[in-house]
Structure 1
Amino acid sequence: MNAWLRLEPMCLIAWRWQPDADVPLVVVANRDEFYARPTLAMHWWAGADILAGRDLHAGGSWLGLGRSGRFAAITNFRTPESPRNELRSRGELVTEFLQAQCTPSQYLSALTSRSEDYNPFNLLVSDGHQLMGLESRSKRGFLIEPGVGAVSNADFNTPWPKLHRLTQDLAQTSDPGAVDPSVLFEMLQRREVAKDEQLPHTGIALERERALSAAFIQTPEYGTRASTVVRQTRTGCEVWERRFDANGPAGELRFSY
């Protein structure tokens, strides 16, 4: 059996949250997936106030925004077991929050009671006033304090090498809210793999741990499919998405609203 066939989607998300600043939220994120999985690029969804890419297999998304200032992004929790196919798609939680009318705190509180309907996940949500996270395995919802943070496929701020590099890069950028977005994309394009002694032990094969330790993943069948930069200001939002396939760059989009 191909060693990659049991692998779930991976993601890497980092943010700078400064609610009192002119640019309260800056997010940089990678979505990793099989190249063969059908996906639509980021777009405004017909009949819904949602700006997001779309997974055509399950119908949800991994990162999205709404005109009201709402933001949501999700990662899976990496385990050696295959996901349970009978459970609901985690991607629906992104779109569900974007269309909700409640606060992040209210949404996560209600979601906690049904989090077992989904394979393990981490969810990051904001309404422009609060930024919150939820770790479904422990049913832990929490307010995210101002500053720089990140999440990948373990608990929030687990010190995996690629999280450490990305948060360090973001923290050392003098003004992520004003810098050219190409600078932020460079952080997401790092292909260096961690040394073996720095790798996490998540129960998967060493070959895969090495490949997944890079911020930007590229293997023959599986890799980073989209890199996204989000900047939310007090009056609007700018979003950039770069897409990739097995052959390399596959396009770039920009949205401003």
Structure 2
Amino acid sequence: MKQGGTWLAFSKAGKFAALTNYPFVDRQVADPISRGFLIMDYLDSEISASDYVSNLRYHREQFEGYHLLVGRIHPKIELKMYNNVDDSLTNYAAGIHSISNTYDDLSAYRKSQSVKDLTHLMQGEIDLNKMLKNFQNTESNPHLTDFPSFLTLDQAKKASGIFIKGQGDFGTVSTTAIALDKSGQLSMKEVRYTRELGQEEIEIKFNFT
């Protein structure tokens, strides 16, 4: 994270949180609090995801735009997403969902394609490497019409894929695949992309039971 913190984490107690930014909005925040610390604040707390979001709403103007996915992945899955720009909360039922950080054509293709890829992947044995490969797809949205006016069409195309190649400070910095089986065994693999090292892989296994 630019200002410190983390973008995705889970606790041994089964709590889970993940964060994306909310770019391209006219939002001026003087001396903003780092969004990266929202993750650990939730995981370290003793309160529910609903109560945590209720607390965030009182302080939402102190942060730059974000989408925060919070809840539990064990012993049962309960996830919700809070967006501080629109002050909106979405509850997710069991199923396949795709979340992105914009609501225009920059995200439309990567959301629809990721749902197709994951739906196909779940028809067989879950493979983290295949999941990671799907999310390294650089193909751009072939039907771009709705995107920020300050971007050229070429810039918008480069920013509309599931994987965005680095453009200065903008681009995909990591890809993470997580699988949790019915026995409580969690497997996670993350690929981090750095200018110096190219790719750095981290793999974690944890049993909640």
TM-score normalized with structure 1 length: 0.69
Which runs of 4 or more aligned residues in structure 1 lie more than 4 Å from their structure 2 counterparts after TM superposition? Answer: 80-83
* Counterpart in the other structure of 2:16: 71
The Cα offsets for residues 48-88 of structure 1, whole Å up to 9 and x where unpaired, read as xxxxxxx3x42211111111111111111121658646111
Matched, 1:100 2:50: no
Matched, 1:215 2:162: yes
* Counterpart in the other structure of 1:37: none
* Aligned mates of 2:25, 2:128 — CA distance in 1: 35
* Counterpart in the other structure of 1:88: 33
| Residue in structure 1 matching 2:146, options 195, 200, 206 | 200
- Structure (1 or 2) with the greater helix fraction: 2
Q: Compute the displacement of 1:227 (Å).
A: 0.8
* Aligned mates of 1:160, 1:124 — CA distance in 2: 19
Which one scores higher on RCO, CA 8 angstroms, separation ≥ 6?
1
Q: Compute the displacement of 1:159 (Å).
A: 6.1
Aligned length: 199
CA distance 1:138–1:80, shift in 2 (3 Å) = closer
* Aligned mates of 1:219, 1:142 — CA distance in 2: 30
Instruction: Tell whether the 8 Å contact from 1:161 to 1:198 is kept in structure 2 after alignment.
Output: no
1:165 aligned partner, one-letter code: Q
Percent identity between matched residues is: 21
* Counterpart in the other structure of 1:164: 112
* Aligned mates of 2:200, 2:129 — CA distance in 1: 14
For structure 2, the 5+ residue unaligned runs are: none
* Aligned mates of 1:141, 1:82 — CA distance in 2: 19
CA distance 1:199–1:256, shift in 2 (3 Å) = farther
- Structure (1 or 2) with the greater strand fraction: 1
Aligned residues: CA RMSD? 2.5
* Aligned mates of 1:216, 1:125 — CA distance in 2: 23
* Counterpart in the other structure of 1:185: 132
| Residue in structure 2 matching 1:110, options 55, 70, 83 | 55
